[in-house]
Amino acid sequence: MASVIRVTKEFSFEMSHLLWNYDGPCRNVHGHSYRLFVTISGTPANDEENPKNGMVIDFTDLKRIVRKEIVTVFDHSVVVSRRYDKEKTELFKKMFGNTVLVDYQPTCENLVSDFAFRIKSQLPAGVKLFSLKLYETATSYAEWFASDNI
């Protein structure tokens, strides 16, 4: 009988953001060194002719997906809610270059949910996104679990 296995890969990127209409210091542009742990689950391939035999997913394939969907988009960017003042948003684009506008408040909680959506749609058949853990600081993180989001 085949076992369902979970595998995890860690990614790191630098990103700044600000929180629209927030009543604390995070209303100002500031940055973090993010760490993202992506855990997928599935049954390892059981075919000696398959070059991926014994793997749920090739870590290289998972790396390609997460880099394309998350890291290349958000690394060294300023993430801002579309609700933020449009004039200031235009200034951010001029000052910082890579400005990513999102349809949500760019908190750690909302980012991890967005990342889950982006990654899930790119996984191969038979491979499921199990969870994400996004560290915003060394001691603060948000988690997303597929079982909580059915």
What residues does 105 pair with on adjacent strands? none
Strands 30-42 and 5-17: antiparallel
> Which SS3 state, helix, strand or coil, does residue 61 take?
helix
Residue 108 catalytic? no
Choosing from 17, 69, 108, 136, which is the catalytic residue? 136
Q: List the strands of the sheet with 140-145, edge to edge.
A: 99-102, 77-81, 5-17, 30-42, 128-137, 140-145
Choosing from 14, 26, 90, 143, which is the catalytic residue? 26
User: And the tokens for 138?
Assistant: 């060394």
Quickly list H helices, the chain.
59-66, 72-74, 86-96, 108-120
Distances (CA, A) of 140 to 35, 57, 59: 11, 29, 26
Residue 136 catalytic? yes
Catalytic residues: 26, 76, 136
